[in-house]
Chains A and B, each alone.
Chain A
Amino acid sequence: MTTETIKPSIWAFANPTRFNTFASKAIPVLAIITFALLAVGLWMSFNAPEDYQQGYTVLIMFIHVPAAWLAMMSYAVMSASAIGTIVWRHPLANVSLRSAAPLGAMFTILALATGSLWGKPMWGTWWEWDARMTSVLVLLIIYLGLIALSKAFDEPSEAALPLAVMTLTGAPLLPIIKFSVDWWNTLHQPASVSRFDRPAMSAEFLYPLLIMALAYTAIFFTLHMMAMRNEILSRRIRTMKMQAARKQSSKGAA
């Protein structure tokens, strides 16, 4: 296959109108996949045995860990979108960045809240200023800052570049969060799933966790596509309103 045959199809899809047409077809399919994964993941989670150390609180792991992964993945999607904005100046890249920020903030809040609810019975504390928790809190602050920045401009296209640059400025936080448990002495245990050797977790906990992580990923992509569609519609409405106002003012002048 030549690059000539690939290129037009990619750029044709990157058109906002075509994206909306594609999204209308893709969203129901993604929603069905999400529901199926969630149903299987929750069934497997609630049928997992009690952990010999943590008891039933291991159930919190099945929603806490995917939320924490998605908090980071959302930011990775935003960083990729920021590169798309800076390098190709593509409007869809900015739409993607803006739409992912509230979702990333939601997953970060969920990671912090469920982590706190897991920490109290296991560590005896709701909160500790350790490297992992503090770096995730910083991630939440960055998300909120980026959401505020995106709303600070009247014209979305004017916000695109500053938003992309600020997003990339925060990107080095991702490896800090990931490796914080190795670089500093924290209450969190070192990575037990994403390791170079085999995961340090038994299959009865690992499989429900992986299915729940897939379900959360599907939730993210479904909601992200829906939010992108909304952002495109709101820009279209804004353009039409401006066109109407211009027409009105030129009529008044005549």
Chain B
Amino acid sequence: MFGEHASFIIPSYIISFVAIVGMTIYIIAQHKLRKAELKRLEESGIKRRADNG
């Protein structure tokens, strides 16, 4: 499949896939970490000024 240039085509798609999926996973993981941190802070009684009214 892809003829004599398969060794150039397949790595191109693998690199693109790894970079985009990797970036997506990183951003989702960061979101989960920040949500957990925010929850921990709120549970310890710290509130944002906006929440204090």
Contacts and interface: CB of A to CB of B under 8 A. Distances in A.
Interface in B15-39: 15-16, 19-20, 23-24, 27-28, 30-31, 34-35, 37-38
Interface in A201-254: 219, 223, 226-227, 229-230, 233-234, 236-237, 239-241, 243-244
Interface size class of chain B, counting residues whose CB lies under 8 Å from the partner chain: 20 to 34
Interface string B2-26: 1111101101110110011001100
Contacts of A17: 50
Interface residues of A, number: 36
Contacts, number: 89
Contacts of A233: 31, 34-35, 38
A240 B16 contact: no
Given A17-B50, A56-B2, A241 B41 contact: yes
B-side binding surface: helix, strand, loop or mixed?
A: helix
> Per DSSP, are chain A's interface residues mostly helix, strand or loop, or mixed?
helix
Contacts of B49: 239, 243
Interface of A: 17, 50, 55-57, 59-60, 63-64, 67, 102-103, 106, 109-110, 113-114, 117-118, 120-121, 219, 223, 226-227, 229-230, 233-234, 236-237, 239-241, 243-244
